[in-house]
Structure 1
Amino acid sequence: MGMVTRAKRRRQEEEEHLADRISSLPDGVLGDIVSLLPTKDAARTQVLSSRWRHIWRSAPLNLDFHDDHVGILASDISSILTAHRGPGRRFVMPRRYRGMEYPTSTTRDGWLRSPSLDNLQELEFSGNSLLLPSVHRFSPTLCIARFSDCSFLAGGNDAGPLHWLLLKQLILFNVTIPESSLHAWLAGCPVLESLLLLHNRYLSRLQIVSRSLRSIGVHSSSIQQLVIEDAPCLERLLHFGGTQMNITVMSAPRLATLGKLFDGFSMLQFGATVFQGAVVSSVKVLALYDVKLCLDAVINLLQCFPHLQKLYINLSLRTRG
């Protein structure tokens, strides 16, 4: 009877071992898996077994409480950064904090200086304040950056241009930034591929000179003029509405997707030729929204894009008086 029991127990152990194949993976692979989990779920893996206890503390840190509608205590973030050995992979500055405990600029600056965020690759920074100077330390490693509800005004704690050698994606949402600061920033991002500007201030005229940009998205809440002076790799130029805006494309030989365009545009110009008479051979996808065009105008428009493959149009038919 004892032999049967021992044999049965041995089979159960073997079955459990086979069922838990994930625990037999190398620490590096387990760390990559844990770093992809939401922060709370990643931290909970420590209680699975002794095999998992050290994984989260040594895995690349993914600190993101964006979906936490209740909020988090600022002291909890400080505790996580103290306990985790790093390196950092992604840090999303929380927008909600529990109770009355809203972190000071000094506290948030300390978070960004934590060794747990060394080699950070993705950063989402938000807060009603000037950009913190500690952001500059991520210039050698940062690949994706999103800034919202903050200020880049000259003379603040953010003095000096940002030079991010590996940055590929930049999003600015509801920020205050002078044109000169943004132009200097773009000049310091030699491999930037995607630029998204939404509801920003102090950007009445934007001039793009970039050898690497492939996609630009703009909401013209304040931008009155957009000039694509030299963008040899640009493939997509997207407009998401807003106020009237003039667009001039001087050099973008690979531009393939353009839109959405609507009657709010004062002028769309390619080179020295106004859009209505220009021939743009590179554009293959065009989106028009809420435009008032008669049939003749549509035909003339299509003649400007001889290689057009897809046309998305929301058309307001012109009524005859």
Structure 2
Amino acid sequence: MAPEAVVEMEDIIRVVLPCLPAPPFRTTGASRRSNSPRGGGGGEDRISRLPDAVLSNIVARLPAKDAARTTALSRRWRRVWASTPLVLDDSDLLVFRDGGGGRSAPVNWPAVTDAVSRVVGGHRGPIRFVRLTCCCMELAARHGILQYWLRVLVAGGVEDLVLVNRPFPRSLRLPVDVLHIASLRTFYLGFWQFPDTAALPRGRAAVFPRLQEIGLCATTIHARDIDHLLACSPVLEKFAIIASLYHTRSVRIRSCSLQCLVFWKSLADELDVVVAPRLQRLILWQACQCMIIGSVTFRTRVRIGHATELKVLGYLEPSIHQLQIGSTIIESGTKMIPSSMVPSVKILALKIQFRIRKEAKMLPTFLRCFPNVETLHVLSHEAEEPDGKLNSKFWEEVGSIDCLETHITKVVFDKFRGERCELAFLKFILERAQSLLKLVIVLANGDQASVDEMLAKLKSLTTAKRASECPTLLAVVREGDSAWYFQRASDLSVSDPFDW
């Protein structure tokens, strides 16, 4: 593998791993304290007096290696472990080649694979959660071990499954047996080639009768296979495509159950929401260094077809996304008609390079596409090669915008740098937003000198004419890590995923 490819793969790994579901309990680490002194060996065994249900709860919270060791305590403990739904994270089974357990030492992939086989083969009971990110999947597939695991997972009724193809051979195809695990509720794949569904029967709506969430991470999948997957998942609520940079040229969404679609740091020629009557959220985030290859510019056409319940949309980026609503391609100055608007959207997030004229001019057009927006998020992105700024005269001459003049009550402007083009836009908001209650300005730099400079520039807004009688202006510095992360972006219980 060329050095450039290694760097690229490391970038993709850093994107994928934080997006994977974590075990229901924090188990990692307990089994690595095996060298600690042991004492009190002759004390009274009060734990074994506890009811089986309590013991099962205890065992479920142990790393898989330690949970399996409880079987050596007594016949009763063997029964407890066998009846406790298995929670397996193979990072608890790591074996290092130097034998010392140091994190800097290389992982012994075959040894981890063998350890997983021992745990899976020795449990023989119900299975709740399996997360495999450290096994040598190529070795497991070559010797039939992966197929054996899948058969055990089917028999155990696994509910939540994470399968990552380590150490990342891209040519490895996932066995079609994975499409037979009808018990799944959550299913995440990483670095695989998805099974070819061309020869499978169409319209099998009960293949994944319980599946509610699926994530495809750096996984090669074709449009027909996405169609098949969605058609086979009648209660699917969340579909995430993460770090897909290679072969997913077209993503078409046809689903009567889907509520949240996440396109996270991925590339495709087209993201087409064809029919999704229950879709509430379309989350787009493509800030990723590994996406920029050479001087090639990637653009994705985002088409919104039948999505009458769509309430949350963003981040739309003019430099990356070409928006199409119905049959209308949205460009600067596009004349709005009902068929080129999405009136259901209430929360809109835009990422704009204000120092690139073409992008900044798209902002009013985007706002006209969503006439009932109530909360607007604008992330100001610093342009590497600015081509000129829009002056205040442009904003003065912008025509009527329904959402701004009637519905918007909150605007969050993120990464404010104190530039004149940013101030001109903020002044435009204050002068036009008749229902505005709150304008939040998040400063780009937390350095005290920079903060003082930006606050001094913001004082000019205090004397600006205001369309709303009493909007609240807040200038804030975000503390700690300001990175927007996948779990929040895709969490349906969070009312505004952009308000982080």
TM-score normalized by the length of structure 1: 0.78
Matches within 5 A, 1:289-300: 289-292=351-354, 298-299=363-364
1:92 and 2:135 aligned: no
Q: Indicate conservation of the 8 Å contact 1:60/1:88, yes or no.
A: yes
In the alignment, which residue of structure 1 is the partner of 2:282? 237
Give the one of 64, 79, 88 matched to 2:118: 79
Q: Indicate conservation of the 8 Å contact 1:187/1:210, yes or no.
A: yes
Give the one of 173, 189, 206 matched to 2:251: 206
Structure 1 pair 252–167 and aligned structure 2 pair: CA distance change class (3 A): same
In the alignment, which residue of structure 2 is the partner of 1:280? 342
C-alpha RMSD of matched pairs (Å): 3.3
Structure 2, unaligned runs of 5 or more: 1-42, 97-106, 292-297, 383-387, 392-500
1:124 and 2:162 aligned: yes
Which residue identity lines up with residue 50 of structure 2 in the other structure?
Answer: S
How far the C-alpha of 1:79 sits from its partner, in A, is: 1.7
1:40 and 2:85 aligned: no
Q: Deviations over 1:210-265 (max 9, x none)?
A: 00000011146441111111111101101121531111111111111111111224
Q: Indicate conservation of the 8 Å contact 1:245/1:266, yes or no.
A: yes
For residues 149 and 242 of structure 2, the distance between their equivalents in structure 1, rounded to whole angstroms, comes to 27
Number of residues of Structure 1 aligned to a counterpart in Structure 2: 298
How far the C-alpha of 1:113 sits from its partner, in A, is: 1.8
In the alignment, which residue of structure 1 is the partner of 2:177? 134
State the SS of the aligned residue for 1:42: helix
Which residue identity lines up with residue 103 of structure 1 in the other structure?
Answer: A
For residues 179 and 229 of structure 1, the distance between their equivalents in structure 2, rounded to whole angstroms, comes to 13
In the alignment, which residue of structure 1 is the partner of 2:303? 248
Moved more, 69-78 or 287-296: 287-296
Q: Indicate conservation of the 8 Å contact 1:86/1:118, yes or no.
A: yes
In the alignment, which residue of structure 2 is the partner of 1:319? 389
How far the C-alpha of 1:144 sits from its partner, in A, is: 0.9
For residues 34 and 83 of structure 1, the distance between their equivalents in structure 2, rounded to whole angstroms, comes to 15
For residues 316 and 74 of structure 1, the distance between their equivalents in structure 2, rounded to whole angstroms, comes to 44
Structure 1, unaligned runs of 5 or more: 1-11
For residues 49 and 124 of structure 1, the distance between their equivalents in structure 2, rounded to whole angstroms, comes to 32
For residues 89 and 265 of structure 2, the distance between their equivalents in structure 1, rounded to whole angstroms, comes to 30
Which residue identity lines up with residue 172 of structure 1 in the other structure?
Answer: L
How far the C-alpha of 1:280 sits from its partner, in A, is: 2.6
1:176 and 2:220 aligned: yes
Which residue identity lines up with residue 74 of structure 1 in the other structure?
Answer: T
Q: Deviations over 1:190-222 (max 9, x none)?
A: 111111112333221221110000001114644
State the SS of the aligned residue for 1:114: helix
For residues 266 and 115 of structure 1, the distance between their equivalents in structure 2, rounded to whole angstroms, comes to 40
Structure 1 pair 68–207 and aligned structure 2 pair: CA distance change class (3 A): same
Structure 1 pair 316–65 and aligned structure 2 pair: CA distance change class (3 A): closer
In the alignment, which residue of structure 2 is the partner of 1:4? none
State the SS of the aligned residue for 2:230: helix
State the SS of the aligned residue for 1:73: helix
Moved more, 181-190 or 112-121: 112-121
More helix by share: 2
In the alignment, which residue of structure 2 is the partner of 1:144? 186
Give the one of 145, 152, 159 matched to 1:114: 152
In the alignment, which residue of structure 1 is the partner of 2:81? 56
Q: Deviations over 1:254-279 (max 9, x none)?
A: 11111111122452122234445343
More strand by share: 1
For residues 170 and 86 of structure 1, the distance between their equivalents in structure 2, rounded to whole angstroms, comes to 25
Structure 1 pair 164–222 and aligned structure 2 pair: CA distance change class (3 A): same
Which residue identity lines up with residue 183 of structure 1 in the other structure?
Answer: D
Structure 1 pair 181–83 and aligned structure 2 pair: CA distance change class (3 A): same
How far the C-alpha of 1:282 sits from its partner, in A, is: 1.3
For residues 62 and 125 of structure 1, the distance between their equivalents in structure 2, rounded to whole angstroms, comes to 14
For residues 326 and 378 of structure 2, the distance between their equivalents in structure 1, rounded to whole angstroms, comes to 25
Structure 1 pair 301–136 and aligned structure 2 pair: CA distance change class (3 A): closer
